[in-house]
């Protein structure tokens, strides 16, 4: 059977919260037998998480030089990605983002929402004010409001729609049921499908779930029913031990949901791989 283990969300030391060299990532991915990887370091246009989070032009250049070198050295095993945050605070407008990055420099771009109106969905106040179902719905609702400003040529995929689960919420089983945010997800999926985009199955939230649990079968099934043909899978690893984390579980979920393909990307063109 064809190897479909693609890790399309990985952070190197060129992310403010990363520590691995790209060399370490590539070696580990090859040891694990992953079929292809994409390095997706953070690019953020605002500084509400601190000055070190506001990516400079120089940092973008350093990231890109490394990505170009590794893509070439590895004959395309390593793809050039970026995790581009939704502009949220001043400074941090779409114009600032356009100034900072050129999507043509990358193979793949994830649009990720990391902030909720200047606050973090990981903060205590966010969960003081929202139950888990409300947090999930509020987060995706905010993506829906903001995504129409996000230029279509600047992203291929929306990152971690279960982002709220990744934070320190203290909930024993924070698995997200479709019933928490069906209306919001329908709106998001409609927009993505109509524009040839997709969303990501991000396996890092599985760490917060008890035992070997996964979540998302119901949302992935909805995406398939609405005509969604492909998704992208990534671990969001910032540490070596999480490279390739539970990609096989995510793949099984995609297959069970009836989504026909997982995608990899080259120069923003999706390459579709049949899941059965």
The CB-of-256 to Zn ion minimum distance in angstroms stands at 25
Q: Which residue of the chain is nearest Zn ion when measured via CB?
A: 112
The CB-of-40 to Zn ion minimum distance in angstroms stands at 6
In the complex with Zn ion, the residue whose CB is nearer, 36 or 200, is: 200
In the complex with Zn ion, the residue whose CB is nearer, 53 or 224, is: 53
Q: For residue 248, what are its two tokens?
A: 């096989």
| Pair 231, 198: CB distance under 8 Å | yes
In the complex with Zn ion, the residue whose CB is nearer, 7 or 275, is: 7
In the complex with Zn ion, the residue whose CB is nearer, 88 or 236, is: 236
The CB-of-166 to Zn ion minimum distance in angstroms stands at 8
Task: Give me the 72-111 binding string for Zn ion, x by CB under 5 A, dash otherwise.
Answer: -----------x----------------------------
The CB-of-129 to Zn ion minimum distance in angstroms stands at 22
| Pair 150, 142: CB distance under 8 Å | no
In the complex with Zn ion, the residue whose CB is nearer, 46 or 224, is: 46
The CB-of-47 to Zn ion minimum distance in angstroms stands at 17
CA angle 81, 86, 89 (to 5 degrees): 135
Residue 112 in contact with Zn ion, rule: CB under 5 A: yes
Contacting range for Zn ion; rule: CB under 5 A; set: 126-134, 149-157, 235-243, 252-260: 235-243
**In angstroms, rounded to a whole number, what is the distance separating the alpha carbons of residues 273 and 97?**
31
The CB-of-249 to Zn ion minimum distance in angstroms stands at 19
In the complex with Zn ion, the residue whose CB is nearer, 36 or 83, is: 83
Q: Among residues 108, 215, 236, 257, which is the contact residue for Zn ion, using CB under 5 A?
A: 236
Task: Give me the 237-266 binding string for Zn ion, x by CB under 5 A, dash otherwise.
Answer: ------------------------------
**In angstroms, rounded to a whole number, what is the distance separating the alpha carbons of residues 241 and 143?**
30
How many Å is the maximal CA-CA distance in the chain? Answer: 49
CA distances from 276 to 10, 214, 265 (A): 25, 20, 19
Spatial CA neighbour of 257 closest among 192, 178, 144? 178
What does the binding site for Zn ion look like in residue numbers (CB under 5 A)? Answer: 83, 112, 236
């Amino acid at each position: 059977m064809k190897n479909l283990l693609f890790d399309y969300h990985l952070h190197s030391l060129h992310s403010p919260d990363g520590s691995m060299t790209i060399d370490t990532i590539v070696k580990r991915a090859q040891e694990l037998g992953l079929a292809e990887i994409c390095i997706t370091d953070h690019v953020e246009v605002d500084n509400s998480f601190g000055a070190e989070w506001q990516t400079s032009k120089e940092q973008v250049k350093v990231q890109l030089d490394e990505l170009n070198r590794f893509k070439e050295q590895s004959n395309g095993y390593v793809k050039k990605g970026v995790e581009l945050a939704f502009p949220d605070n001043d400074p941090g407008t779409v114009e600032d983002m356009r100034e900072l990055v050129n999507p043509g420099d990358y193979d793949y771009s994830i649009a990720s929402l990391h902030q909720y109106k200047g606050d973090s969905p990981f903060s205590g106040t966010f969960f003081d004010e929202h139950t888990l179902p409300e947090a999930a719905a509020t987060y995706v609702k905010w993506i829906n409001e903001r995504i129409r400003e996000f230029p279509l040529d600047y992203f291929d995929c929306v990152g971690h729609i279960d982002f709220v689960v990744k934070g320190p919420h203290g909930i024993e089983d924070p698995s997200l049921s479709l019933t928490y945010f069906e209306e919001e997800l329908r709106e998001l999926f409609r927009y993505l499908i109509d524009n040839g985009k997709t969303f990501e199955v991000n396996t890092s939230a599985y760490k917060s779930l008890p035992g070997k649990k996964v979540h998302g079968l119901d949302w992935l099934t909805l995406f398939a029913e609405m005509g969604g043909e492909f998704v992208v899978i990534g671990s969001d690893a910032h540490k070596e031990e999480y490279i390739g984390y539970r990609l096989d579980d995510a793949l099984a979920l995609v297959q069970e949901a009836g989504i026909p393909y997982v995608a990899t990307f080259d120069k923003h063109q999706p390459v579709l791989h049949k899941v059965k």
